[in-house]
Amino acid sequence: MSFPYLSTIVFLPVIGAILILALAKRDRAVRWTAAIFTFIPLVMALALFVAFDRSGGAALVQFEEKIAWIGPLNISYHLGVDGLSLPMVVLTAFLGFVVVLISWKEHLRVREYFAWLLLLETSILGVFASLNLLLFFIFWEIEVVPMYFLISVWGSGRKGYSATKYVIYTLFGSALMLAGILSLYFTTGTLDIMDLSQRGLALVQTALPAAGMFFLLLAGFAVKLPVVPLHTWLPDAHTDAPTAGSVILAGVLIKMGGYGIIRTVSIFPSVAQQYATILVVLAVISVLYGAAITLRQTDLKRMIAYSSVSHMGYVLLGVFALGQISMTGAALQMVSHGLLTGLLFAMAGLTMHNVHERDLRKLGGLANQLPIIAVVFSIAGLGSLGLPATSGFVAEFLVFTGSFGSGAAAGMAVFTILAALGVVLAAGYILWMLQRTFYGPVKEQFNGSADATRLDRVYMVAFVILILLVGIFPTVLTDVIQKGITPIVSLLGG
Amino acid sequence: MNFQLFVPEIILAGTAGLVILVDLFVERKGALAVLAVLGALAAIGYTITLWGGSATGLFGGRLAVDNFALFFKLLILGIVVVVVLATADYASKMERFQGEYYALVLTSALGMMVMSAATELITIYVGLELASISLYALVGFLKDPKSTESSLKYLLLGAVASAVMLYGMALIFGVTGQTQLSAISSAIGRLGLSGALANPALVMGVVLLLAGFGFKIATVPFHMWVPDVYEGAPTPITAYLSVGSKAAGFALVLRVFSTAFGEPGWLSQNWGMLFAILAAISMTLGNTVAIPQTNIKRMLGYSSIAQAGYLMVGLAAAGLAGGTDTLGGSGVLFFLASYALTNLGAFVAIIAITNKIGSDLIQDFSGMGRRAPLTAGVLTLCLISLIGMPPAAGFMAKFYIFSGAVQNGLLWLVIVAAINSVVSAYYYLRVVKVMWFGEPASAEPVPSSGAMRVGLAVTSLGVLFVGIAPGFLLTAAQAAARIFTS
């Protein structure tokens, strides 16, 4: 057996967490341990990304690891990445390292903080790397605990309320998901994701309607994505979480939902086709409703949080347009939104940390005092509203092009045009937010506020490079994503 | 008859007698705890050597020696060890009668072991009374008004339940003319479908029997005693009741219903559905009423009613599957073992904390995360396991027991149970929240003794081990439940 690259990537952060709790006494040592144990997975994930075989005849799943785990249930410990999950693993490793840098100035209960952060990274990496549904579900559930602690101890505002709400929503979704996984297990006799999607419902032995299982699984993912009307946990959790928590939440955690939905489609292609209309309608509602609510927010973080609801609507639209281009766009949108909103939250956190104010009505003119933050914040904002040359443009363009001509539901063109209105609204709220925060008359009370430190600039530059790279050379990502999307589209008969 | 097979019980009875004798001579009562633990460990060691042998009977087939009985004997003996360890610190509250305390713990364990092995109605009754009467005394051991009241309540309700169960046994004997479980099964088979269902005495007998067992496993609607008794009893005994008594009760239900009423299939389908409905009510009521509780022992009392509901999901699956059950019965066994580890861990942690702060109120656990990080950590892990979240044992237990239900077409029950787990997260997490986010009443650390630390380590490592590598315990549970599949 070759070297277990994926296991190493997934479990290094949690090993770091254990070392921190067991050995590291001084805050400095804690920070460096966290940095090292997130940096190595990042380097390894990038190496896997480079080494991933993109050629036509290459194996679908690469870097596979499979060992027997629970013998009596015939469940194995099965890791591997395909074109769909590899970009998410890289994104998670990247944000995992970045949030350690973002949290460098954290002073409250530092050891526990970094231990939870590292455990969180392991669980998310595990979700993306698992090829067995039980293993997937275990990582999915573990993620809830560190997030709960991160929000309730290091958060702000109504943090206890938000954390509990987050947990209850997620557990509610995963309760239904567990029921779906179990029925899938007994109708097909396997929990292996690749088996399930390649051999599909040929495995189904009993009469339990496939649609039932489809919606049970979908429920769990729809809470996470989130899809309106299951989204109300998101603004609370994103707003009250500490900056690192918001970055991880918006950057990769909600992508677990999108990723799960694509996997579900690959397991139930015919059911997905049958119910595409409903989900496309929900997607359009998420886009427009999310954007409309964003417009009237007055809190900096809450605004970015609500914009996620709208942007994740594009993912849902792209997936259920059920075409090669639209699904590639959806997968790309997940990565792109991860980078853009990750950066937006990082910048919002930095702004709040430096000027101690987050109310948009009281902010203003900060471009004068915080020029570097203002520039980077604006780049992230413009990317988020889909300016060409940023990753946001490519992703949304692919989603709209793909869904406009899709035959997944009657009137896809109309739905696409409606969803595209979301971009107009996005331009409205993003520009309004930038204008309220950074432009306008200079306010005296913010004089003397610190701009980004050298450490902040490091990750800001990394973010901006990645956003522009994906925006200008999208093939870096799309040729990998294609490898994951093509087999799913062929299952759909496209 | 081969008396070798009875050695674990003899060791336990001998140790109980020895503890009382030694109590007369030694000044340091800690020695009694050591003696009790050694006796239980010796019995465990001997029981392990019996594991895997072919099933035989003792006393003319009244007691079975099969993997099922051995599984429960090991479980109960393991529980006794942890309960005695957990008492080591607590014993200071009971100046007198420490010898009797440990002896009673051992005799009730003996009763539970008989319950798990009995294959005949009278023997079942004897085992059950031996376990119960010892527990009545243990519950009242503190001699304060609360403890006395709860002991009296437990005694009265327990006696009524026993009487009801005995009446049921008498009716079944009246219809079938048999007390041996396998003989009852064949007598019912001779009655046939219409004959059996048209026989009110038989149906009544089964229902009354269920009522008696329902009291032991603390399910709705026989749960009224649970919160009061759990609150008033000495905390180690609460732990003992919540896992030991429940495990033995489930052993009884599984064996009696699978053997005597397991064949023919239509009969087991009937009680299977009955258990499914009881399960749904029990978990919903337990979880809902647990939410407003302010006393942690009371809260765990209601939580144990809910857990009995999850366990009955396995019973329902076993019943609906009839003789072909592969997951339901073993699911109950696996769940019981995980639950025992989890709940014992939680109670050991609670004892360690309450000994110091002298209060069972949840709000007084405030800031324990800083005053006693390890103990609070173990309690957090156990509460997460009770919710049923990975990587703790509780997740695997729920996954496995629910899978049995889905296999037998009980998807609706699994959805009810899964949503119930979400409700339960609310009150379990409240304790976590108070411990880690609350302000400590004082900065004084809460130390725990060596015995407690052993208890905490054993249970928490067990919870993690079963949660991450469940294969070993799963294989054992399946081997034990195989005696019911034909």
What does the pLDDT average to over B193-217?
A: 88
Predicted TM-score (pTM) above 0.90: yes
Instruction: Name the band, by pLDDT with cuts 50, 70 and 90, for residue A187.
Output: confident
Quick: pLDDT tens for B445-461.
888 888 889 999 999 99
What does the pLDDT average to over B130-145?
A: 92
Q: What is the DSSP letter of B52?
A: T
| Minimum distance, in Å, between the CA of residue A165 and any CA atom of chain B | 10
Cα separations in angstroms, B58 against A450, B2, B55, B486: 83, 7, 10, 22
What is the DSSP annotation of A322-349?
TSHHHHHHHHHHHHHHHHHHHHHHHHHH
- Are the CB atoms for A235 and A169 separated by under 8 Å? no
pLDDT of residue B26: 87
Quick: pLDDT tens for A344-382.
999 999 999 888 888 988 888 888 889 999 999 999 999
Q: Is residue B289 in some structural domain? A: yes
Query: What is the C-alpha to C-alpha distance for residues B208 and A351, in angstroms, rounded to an integer?
Result: 69
Q: Is B399 near chain A, with CB under 8 Å?
A: yes
Q: Is residue B203 in some structural domain? A: no
Q: Is residue B194 in some structural domain? A: no
Quick: pLDDT tens for B96-127.
788 899 999 999 999 999 999 999 999 999 99
Those residues whose C-beta lies under 8 Å from the C-beta of residue B452, and which sit 6 or more positions away, are: B85, B86, B88, B89, B348, B351, B352
Whether A96 has a pLDDT exceeding 90, the answer reads: yes
A73: which chain B residues are within 8 Å (Cβ-Cβ)? 400, 403, 474
Instruction: Name the band, by pLDDT with cuts 50, 70 and 90, for residue B190.
Output: confident
What is the DSSP annotation of A108-124?
SSHHHHHHHHHHHHHHH
- Are the CB atoms for A172 and A240 separated by under 8 Å? no
- Say yes or no for a CB contact (<8 Å) between B399 and A164: no
pLDDT of residue A395: 94
- Are the CB atoms for A342 and A463 separated by under 8 Å? yes
What does the pLDDT average to over A317-343?
A: 94
B429: which chain A residues are within 8 Å (Cβ-Cβ)? 148, 164, 167
Q: Is B468 near chain A, with CB under 8 Å?
A: no
Quick: pLDDT tens for B236-289.
999 999 999 999 999 999 999 988 887 777 778 888 899 999 999 999 999 999
Q: Of A137, A145, A168, which is closest to B426 when you measure between CB atoms?
A: A168
SS3 of residue B254 by DSSP = helix
B436: which chain A residues are within 8 Å (Cβ-Cβ)? 149, 153
Q: Between A and B, how many residue pairs show a Cβ–Cβ distance under 8 A?
A: 84
Q: Write down the H helix ranges in B118-234.
A: 121-139, 145-176, 181-197, 200-217, 225-232
Q: Is residue B318 in some structural domain? A: yes
Residue A9 is inside which H or E element, if any? helix A5-22
CA nearest to A275, candidates A322, A311, A230: A322
pLDDT of residue A419: 93
CA nearest to B353, candidates B376, B330, B335, B370: B376
Chain A interface disruption, residue of B383, B406, B433, B435, most A CBs within 10 A: B406
Q: Is residue B60 in some structural domain? A: no
Strand partners for A75: A70
Q: Of A70, A168, A171, which is closest to B471 when you measure between CB atoms?
A: A70
pLDDT of residue A190: 82
Residues 413 to 452 of B: which have CB under 8 A from any A CB?
Answer: 414-415, 418-419, 421-422, 425-426, 429, 433, 436-437
Query: What is the C-alpha to C-alpha distance for residues B305 and B224, in angstroms, rounded to an integer?
Result: 10
Phi, psi of A160 (to 5 degrees): -60, -45
B473, B475, B477, B482: CA torsion to nearest 10: -170
What does the pLDDT average to over A386-394?
A: 92
Strand partners for B57: B64
Pairing of strands A75-81, A62-70: antiparallel
Chain A interface disruption, residue of B320, B403, B434, B475, most A CBs within 10 A: B403
- Are the CB atoms for B128 and B252 separated by under 8 Å? yes
* Strand ranges inside B31-137, DSSP E: 56-58, 63-65
- Are the CB atoms for B50 and B58 separated by under 8 Å? no
Query: What is the C-alpha to C-alpha distance for residues B352 and B371, in angstroms, rounded to an integer?
Result: 12
Which tokens sit at A451? 């701009």
Quick: pLDDT tens for B379-415.
999 999 999 988 899 999 999 999 889 888 888 999 9
Q: Which residue of A has its CA nearest to B411?
A: A179
Q: Is residue B426 in some structural domain? A: yes
Structural domain including B311 reads 262-486
Q: Is residue B67 in some structural domain? A: no
> Percent of chain A at pLDDT above 90?
67
> Percent of chain B at pLDDT above 70?
99
| Minimum distance, in Å, between the CA of residue A171 and any CA atom of chain B | 6
Instruction: Name the band, by pLDDT with cuts 50, 70 and 90, for residue A494.
Output: low
- Expressed in angstroms, the distance from the first to the final Cα of chain A is 36
Cα separations in angstroms, A186 against A83, A176, B406: 28, 16, 7
Instruction: Name the band, by pLDDT with cuts 50, 70 and 90, for residue B93.
Output: confident
Whether A28 has a pLDDT exceeding 50, the answer reads: yes
What does the pLDDT average to over A127-156?
A: 93
Q: Is B472 near chain A, with CB under 8 Å?
A: no
Whether A207 has a pLDDT exceeding 50, the answer reads: no
- Say yes or no for a CB contact (<8 Å) between A186 and B403: yes
Q: How many residues are recorded in chain A?
A: 494
Those residues whose C-beta lies under 8 Å from the C-beta of residue A421, and which sit 6 or more positions away, are: A287, A288, A291
pLDDT of residue B344: 96
Quick: pLDDT tens for B43-89.
999 999 998 888 888 888 889 999 999 999 999 999 999 999 998 87
What does the pLDDT average to over A332-338?
A: 95
Output the furthest CA–CA distance in chain B (Å, rounded): 71
| Minimum distance, in Å, between the CA of residue B304 and any CA atom of chain A | 20
Q: How many domains does chain B have?
A: 1
pLDDT of residue A448: 82
Q: Tell me the pLDDT of chain B averaged across its residues.
A: 91
> Percent of chain A at pLDDT above 70?
98
SS3 of residue A64 by DSSP = strand
Cα separations in angstroms, B347 against A461, B147, B455: 52, 17, 10
pLDDT of residue A208: 62
Q: Which residue of A has its CA nearest to B427?
A: A164
Which tokens sit at B57? 């009977």
* Strand ranges inside B44-125, DSSP E: 56-58, 63-65
Q: Is residue B77 in some structural domain? A: no
Burial per residue of B76-98, b for 16 or more beta-carbon CB atoms within 10 angstroms, e otherwise: bbbbbbbbbbbbbbbbeebeeeb
Identity of the residue numbered A79: L
